[in-house]
Amino acid sequence: MAYQAVFKRYEVKYMLTRRQKDILLKAMEPYMKQDSYGHTTIRNIYFDTDNYRLVRRSIEKPIYKEKLRIRSYKKADAKDKVFIELKKKYDSVVYKRREALEQEKTIKWLEDKGHFPLDTQIGREIDYFFGYYKTLKPKMFVSYEREAFFSLDGSDFRVTFDENIMARQEELSLSGDVWGTKLIDDDQVLMEIKVSGGIPMWMVHALTDNRIYSTSFSKYGTAYRKIVCADGAESLQLRKIG
């Protein structure tokens, strides 16, 4: 199956209640349709340096930031394709470039620490990324349930709803079950609007009428604060007690 390898767009996030999600789904009915994947459970493995350089920089909200992750849209078997994604954000614009590779080949590439198996421009960019951040390794597993919708007018306007967002630092595999520390409350839903141009007026009115405002939320950043920083604070407290 063909897949989109290059993205350039704005991504605007909103933290909703489940009631607000239902209201927006009703407003979306004449204009949008759920994509062919339906309701999916997305698994991600985020890479970072030994000292968490990438996520710490991201939390500082710089004008430019970047990250690398491996993603699957289901529990991946050895022969299933997974996505190796470079994601960069500059001056509010998101640039995403990705390649698809069988999971067993992806694991072998990571274990061998060699060049990316595909001789493509994006593959060379991934090689450069690993060369620049020399201690990159898998650091965090993040999963969530997603519903994605596309616009019926043929534009690139998309809306996604993410629920049950969880993270962990154990069992960093795309082949296992989803479990971990909850990053949002049970009644919360993270909505993302993805578009290269402006948001349609019907959606602007739906957001305004229901007093729904954009927010800043990073799944990996929140996981880092809740898991890594919490562990660090606990270790520091134990050292003080000792």
What are the pLDDT tens digits along the chain (242 aa)? 568 999 999 999 999 999 999 999 999 999 999 998 889 999 999 999 999 999 999 999 999 999 999 999 999 999 999 999 999 999 999 999 999 999 999 999 999 999 999 999 999 999 999 999 999 999 999 999 999 999 999 999 999 999 999 999 999 999 999 999 999 999 999 999 999 999 999 999 999 999 999 999 999 999 999 999 986 554 434 334 33
| C-alpha to C-alpha distance for 173 and 191, rounded to whole angstroms | 26
Distance of CA 42 to the CA centre of its chain: 9
What are the φ/ψ torsions at residue 27 (nearest 5 degrees)? -65, -30
Q: Is 76 exposed, middle or buried (0-12, 13-18, 19+ CB in 10 A)?
A: buried
Domains of the chain, by residue range, sit at 6-241
Residue type, 26: K
> Encoding tokens for residue 233?
């604070």
The domain over range 6-241 is classified in CATH as 3.40.640.10: no
- H/E element, 231: helix 230-241
State the pLDDT at residue 230.
Answer: 84
Vertex 73, ends 71 and 78: CA angle to 5°?
75
> Any idea what DSSP says for residue 198?
P
Prediction pTM value = 0.92
pLDDT value at position 239?
38
